[in-house]
């Protein structure tokens, strides 16, 4: 006879759709959410107890190897979130769990370091070397580090320990984050700011789910307002935790400084590029509730907060909240879901909210808090359109006469200029003048970009890199390869020729490879040591340069091309952001936008400063087509190793489409990037009515086709990329 055994279902942090059952051996306890080690094949892997069952059918089950008791169990609100997020994003449950388990080391206790510090007792005999050590020992530090600092041999330090003049102390390597000081005074708020801060603080204190949009022009002081909401959350509950999401790592440093000013302490900082030590410390401190404020990139949403009371999504319209690789998700949408499950408040902040969020605010689903003006003397910049048909630049030049003249005036007044061009490198296309061939990355439908500083041709999509060849790889002509169109490096060349005395710098991911390089550039711009900054998207957002009074948008039309449904909205948002860099202090600013299509509504209404009219225009278009926010969109992307396979499986998918009302499917069609890293890609676009569960539809569709593993199927709910 078999005895009932205790069985636990364990979710593994692997791309698996559901938990596996394991026997919990006698004497072992594991509550729901506990981290455990279990056998999987011949390996031992980490997982989380997802549930308990009693069953006697355990003949083939393996046993849990160990329960990890050095980390608190994953809170229920986090487990629920993982389930909901996985089903909404059509991602496997285990893959979603992997998003929260980004630091294995965090599950262990902090390692302990052995440090030395002075005891106050003098050594038997003072020597110059010993004196240097005791002077250098201002705080506990490792013996080797102290010897280095005092510039003595390690024997001297050891001697002092033996003498009792230094003692060895043990200290955890990962220290807790300092507590924020909520009683420090913030800025004196304007009436608008005060009203918004008061309403938000009420929402936070209600301990119910609320969503709010903080809608304020660039520089209107949204950050100051959400600081008050953070203070309210922390004041109301001594264990409350707050998460602030930012779209760009480039912005984090400046924001961290403002947090320090407001709360006396730098918050915990999370982004995926951070080293494993930082990640381990943040994760552990969040899990045990000691990290009260976390500032991070989108993946911070998956940290195991036990008591999340407020989530802030700054620049909520930013497309970088959408993760396009691995687990495809939109951190802005999942923030709302996370807050809902935790009965917390979510605050979406932007000067140019997404249409989806705006529609939610207009319908009353989200509170709509408005900041109408910049505080103090700062005014919004004037936005002027420069019609490139009327005053074009000279051949092979990119700056039009009106922009050059404005730059001249600005520099003469001792003020700064930002030229915005969202193209890295020297030229976005390399063409052979002999045979007309355009150079592509191997097995990929994407042009190579010429980078002159490094002499390389780079594919920005796949990262493929090669030296620029002297001969055309197609026809063999020598010296005929020529860069077409401008990138920031080429624009810098033109700018240097026109303004030889100006200090000019390029701000792109190529010139800011390290955090230090980035901070250095931002600091020099802030201090006025740069006259003209030429920047890509990295320079466009968030920065506060007080002496910057002219922004030139070199090629406004490029972001309107491509024709996806958000192109107009995105252009409007981006250009408002870029223009908003000008005139942040007392001096008035202006933005000049170079375009061949000044009559397009996005540009016309941007120049008129009428965001609401533009949003109305876009909403009307979307309503006509049944696109978000009036309907839902999804994409199915198939890729296969040959074009024939891709077509065959695309047909197969087409046939397997589930029958459902309120659903339109377009496709299959070759994806705009039809070949990527040797894989041939086909797309379906799915549009459904608002009340259709598009995630369920897409998952059901995928599950009806048993494609071989060489065919990859990607589901994208509310796609942002249509490539």
Please provide the size of the chain in residues.
723
Q: Minimum Å distance from CB 496 to ligand ADP?
A: 31
Q: Segment contacting ligand ADP (CB under 6 A): 1-9, 92-100, 119-127, 218-226?
A: 218-226
Calpha distance 450→424 (Å, rounded): 9
Contact map string, positions 258 to 297, toward ligand ADP, x by CB under 6 A: ----------------------------------------
Q: Minimum Å distance from CB 350 to ligand ADP?
A: 9
For ligand ADP, the closer CB: 404 or 574: 574
Tokens read off for 720: 């942002």
Strand bridging mode 5-12 / 43-55? antiparallel
**Contacting residue, 201, 218, 537, 576, with ligand ADP by CB under 6 A:** 218
Q: Interface residues for ligand ADP in 301-340 (CB under 6 A)?
A: none
Q: Which of 175, 253, 189 is nearest to 227 (CA)?
A: 189
DSSP assignment letter at 266: P
**Strands, sheet with 631-640, edge to edge from the N-terminal-most edge strand:** 663-676, 679-689, 631-640, 712-717
Q: Minimum Å distance from CB 222 to ligand ADP?
A: 3
For ligand ADP, the closer CB: 320 or 714: 320
Q: Exposed/middle/buried for 105, CB within 10 Å: 0-12, 13-18, 19+? A: middle
Cis peptide before 629 (omega within 30 of 0): yes
How many residues bind ligand ADP, per CB under 6 A?
16
Calpha distance 439→8 (Å, rounded): 56
Q: Segment contacting ligand ADP (CB under 6 A): 54-62, 219-227, 501-509, 639-647?
A: 219-227
For ligand ADP, the closer CB: 81 or 545: 545
Q: Minimum Å distance from CB 365 to ligand ADP?
A: 23
Calpha distance 417→419 (Å, rounded): 6
Contact map string, positions 521 to 560, toward ligand ADP, x by CB under 6 A: -----------------------x----------------
- Count other C-beta atoms under 10 Å from residue 377's C-beta: 10
Reading phi first (left if > 0) and then psi (alpha if -120 to 50, else beta), residue 301 is in: alpha
Contact in structure between 326 and 296 (CB atoms under 8 Å): no
Kindly give, in sequence order, each residue whose CB lies less than 8 Å from that of residue 540, ignoring residues fewer than 6 positions away.
Answer: 420, 422, 574, 577, 578, 581
For ligand ADP, the closer CB: 217 or 504: 217
Contact map string, positions 183 to 202, toward ligand ADP, x by CB under 6 A: ----xxxx--x---------
Q: Segment contacting ligand ADP (CB under 6 A): 56-64, 215-223, 384-392, 659-667?
A: 215-223
Q: Minimum Å distance from CB 221 to ligand ADP?
A: 3
Residue 645 backbone phi and psi in degrees, to 5? -60, -40
Q: Minimum Å distance from CB 588 to ligand ADP?
A: 15
Q: Segment contacting ligand ADP (CB under 6 A): 71-79, 220-228, 427-435, 657-665?
A: 220-228
Q: Exposed/middle/buried for 643, CB within 10 Å: 0-12, 13-18, 19+? A: middle
Contact map string, positions 646 to 665, toward ligand ADP, x by CB under 6 A: --------------------
Calpha distance 13→66 (Å, rounded): 16
For ligand ADP, the closer CB: 157 or 214: 214
Contact map string, positions 342 to 381, toward ligand ADP, x by CB under 6 A: ---------------------------------xx-----
Q: Minimum Å distance from CB 188 to ligand ADP?
A: 6
CA angle 371–542–524, rounded 5-degree value = 135
The residue whose Cβ lies closest to ligand ADP is 221
Calpha distance 345→367 (Å, rounded): 11
Q: Minimum Å distance from CB 396 to ligand ADP?
A: 37
Residue 216 within binding range of ligand ADP, rule CB under 6 A: yes
Q: Minimum Å distance from CB 177 to ligand ADP?
A: 23
Contact in structure between 592 and 554 (CB atoms under 8 Å): no
Residue 219 within binding range of ligand ADP, rule CB under 6 A: yes
Q: Minimum Å distance from CB 274 to ligand ADP?
A: 24
For ligand ADP, the closer CB: 77 or 218: 218
Calpha distance 690→628 (Å, rounded): 8
Cα four-point dihedral sign 77, 83, 85, 91 = positive
Q: Minimum Å distance from CB 190 to ligand ADP?
A: 5
Q: Minimum Å distance from CB 219 to ligand ADP?
A: 4
**Residue entry with tokens 């404020």:** 293
DSSP assignment letter at 557: G
Q: Minimum Å distance from CB 286 to ligand ADP?
A: 25
Q: Segment contacting ligand ADP (CB under 6 A): 171-179, 217-225, 269-277, 680-688?
A: 217-225
- Looking from the CA of 21 toward its CB, the CA atoms found within 13 Å total 14
Q: Minimum Å distance from CB 612 to ligand ADP?
A: 17
**Contacting residue, 6, 79, 102, 222, with ligand ADP by CB under 6 A:** 222
Calpha distance 463→425 (Å, rounded): 13
Q: Minimum Å distance from CB 248 to ligand ADP?
A: 14
Calpha distance 67→9 (Å, rounded): 13
For ligand ADP, the closer CB: 87 or 544: 544
- Count other C-beta atoms under 10 Å from residue 664's C-beta: 11
**Contacting residue, 77, 89, 223, 639, with ligand ADP by CB under 6 A:** 223
Cis peptide before 87 (omega within 30 of 0): no
For ligand ADP, the closer CB: 312 or 565: 312
Residue 583 within binding range of ligand ADP, rule CB under 6 A: no
For ligand ADP, the closer CB: 216 or 353: 216
- Count other C-beta atoms under 10 Å from residue 452's C-beta: 16
Residues forming the site for ligand ADP (CB under 6 A): 187-190, 193, 216, 218-224, 375-376, 544
């Amino acid at each position: 006879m078999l005895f009932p055994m205790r069985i636990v279902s364990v979710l593994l942090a692997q791309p698996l759709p559901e938990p596996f059952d394991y026997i919990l051996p006698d004497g072992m306890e594991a509550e729901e959410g506990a981290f455990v080690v279990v056998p999987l094949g011949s390996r031992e892997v980490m997982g989380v107890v997802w549930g308990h069952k009693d069953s006697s059918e355990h003949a083939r089950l393996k046993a849990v190897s160990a329960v990890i008791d050095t980390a608190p169990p994953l809170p229920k609100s986090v487990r629920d979130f993982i389930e909901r997020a996985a089903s909404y994003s059509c991602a496997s449950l285990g893959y979603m769990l992997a998003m929260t388990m980004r630091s294995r080391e965090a599950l262990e206790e902090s390692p302990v370091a052995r440090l030395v510090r002075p005891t106050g007792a003098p050594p038997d005999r003072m020597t110059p070397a010993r004196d240097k050590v005791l002077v250098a020992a201002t705080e506990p530090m490792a013996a080797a580090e102290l010897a280095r600092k005092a510039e003595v041999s390690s024997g001297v330090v050891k001697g002092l320990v033996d003498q009792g003049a230094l003692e060895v102390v043990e200290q955890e390597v990962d220290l807790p984050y300092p507590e924020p000081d909520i009683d420090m005074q913030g800025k004196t708020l304007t009436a608008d700011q005060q009203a918004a801060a008061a309403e938000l603080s009420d929402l936070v204190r209600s301990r119910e789910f609320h969503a709010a949009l903080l809608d304020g022009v660039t520089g209107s002081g949204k950050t100051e307002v959400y600081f008050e909401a953070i203070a309210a959350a922390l004041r109301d509950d001594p264990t409350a935790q707050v998460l602030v999401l930012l779209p760009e790592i480039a912005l984090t440093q400046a924001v961290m400084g403002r947090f320090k000013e407001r709360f006396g302490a730098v918050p915990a900082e999370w982004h995926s590029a951070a080293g494993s030590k930082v990640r381990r410390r943040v994760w552990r401190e969040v899990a045990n509730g000691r990290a009260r404020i976390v500032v991070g990139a989108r993946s911070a949403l998956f940290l195991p907060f036990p008591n999340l009371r407020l989530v802030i999504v700054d620049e909520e319209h930013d497309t970088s909240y959408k993760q396009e690789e691995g687990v495809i998700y939109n951190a802005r949408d999942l923030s709302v879901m996370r807050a809902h499950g935790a009965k917390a408040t979510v605050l979406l902040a932007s000067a140019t909210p997404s249409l989806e969020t705006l529609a939610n605010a207009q319908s009353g689903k989200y509170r709509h808090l408005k900041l109408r003006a910049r505080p103090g003397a700062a005014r919004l910049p004037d936005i002027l359109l420069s019609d490139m048909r009327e005053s074009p630049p000279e051949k092979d030049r990119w700056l039009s006469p009106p922009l050059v003249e404005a730059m001249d005036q600005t520099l003469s007044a001792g003020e700064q200029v930002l030229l915005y061009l969202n193209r890295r490198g020297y030229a976005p296309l390399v063409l052979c003048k002999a045979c007309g061939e355009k150079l592509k990355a191997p097995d990929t439908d994407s042009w190579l970009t010429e980078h002159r500083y490094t002499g390389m041709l780079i594919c920005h999509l796949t990262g493929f890199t090669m030296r620029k060849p002297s001969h055309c790889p197609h026809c063999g002509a020598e010296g005929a390869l020529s860069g077409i169109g401008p990138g920031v490096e080429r624009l810098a060349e033109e700018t240097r020729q026109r303004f030889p005395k100006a200090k000019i710098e390029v701000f792109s991911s190529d010139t800011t490879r390290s955090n230090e390089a980035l901070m250095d550039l931002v600091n020099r711009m802030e201090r006025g040591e740069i006259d003209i900054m030429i920047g890509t998207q990295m320079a466009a957002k968030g920065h506060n340069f007080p002496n910057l009074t002219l922004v030139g948008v070199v090629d406004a039309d490029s972001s309107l091309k491509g024709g996806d449904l958000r192109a107009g909205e995105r252009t409007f948002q981006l250009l408002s952001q870029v223009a908003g860099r000008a005139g942040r202090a007392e001096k008035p600013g202006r933005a000049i936008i170079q375009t061949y299509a000044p009559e397009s509504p996005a540009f016309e209404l941007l120049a008129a400063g009428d965001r609401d009219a533009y949003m109305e225009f876009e909403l009307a278009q979307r309503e006509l087509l049944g696109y978000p926010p009036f309907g839902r969109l999804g994409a199915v992307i198939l890729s296969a190793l040959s074009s024939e396979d891709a077509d065959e499986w695309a047909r197969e998918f087409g046939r397997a489409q589930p029958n459902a009302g309120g659903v339109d499917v377009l496709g299959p069609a070759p994806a705009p990037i039809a070949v990527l890293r040797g894989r041939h890609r086909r797309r379906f676009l799915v549009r459904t009515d608002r009340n259709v569960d598009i995630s369920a539809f897409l998952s059901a569709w995928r599950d009806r086709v048993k494609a071989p593993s060489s065919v990859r199927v990607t589901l994208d709910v509310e796609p942002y990329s249509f490539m």
